[in-house]
């Protein structure tokens, strides 16, 4: 049974660049891209689990765990998106 990796999403907010990156902006963009790809993979895993449950190849409980995992990771990504958009809006409101 796979455990949800919240650490990968929480690393987005760190100020330290990853090894091999040259700027903070590049590190954030890369981490965001990786997180989106991870959420997409979890959604695909949930879809496959649904098919396996229907075909009787996977227990209903295992299938529901995969679906919940995908749902939580999507909700978390949406919260990160909302926070980024709120920050952008706040910056745009600032007067110089």
DSSP string covering 5-74, please?
Answer: -HHHHHGGG-SSPPTT--SHHHHHHHHHHHHHHHHHHHHHHHHHHHHHHHHTSS-HHHHHHHHHHHHHHH
Q: How far apart are the C-alpha atoms of 46 and 69, rounded to whole Å?
A: 8
% the chain with pLDDT above 90:
67
Q: Determine the length of the chain.
A: 96
Whether pLDDT at 68 is above 80: yes
Whether pLDDT at 38 is above 90: yes
Contacts for 66 with CB less than 8 Å, ≥ 6 apart: 42, 45, 46, 48, 49
Whether pLDDT at 20 is above 80: no
- Say if pTM beats, i.e. exceeds, 0.75: no
């Amino acid at each position: 049974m796979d455990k949800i990796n919240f650490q990968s999403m929480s690393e987005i907010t760190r100020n330290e660049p990853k090894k091999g990156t040259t700027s903070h902006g590049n590190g954030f963009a890369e981490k965001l891209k990786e997180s989106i790809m991870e959420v997409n993979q979890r959604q695909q895993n949930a879809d496959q689990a649904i098919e396996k449950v229907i075909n009787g190849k996977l227990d209903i409980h295992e299938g529901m765990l995969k679906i919940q995992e995908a749902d939580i990771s999507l909700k978390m990504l949406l919260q990160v998106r909302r926070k980024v958009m709120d920050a952008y809006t706040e910056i745009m409101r600032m007067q110089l």
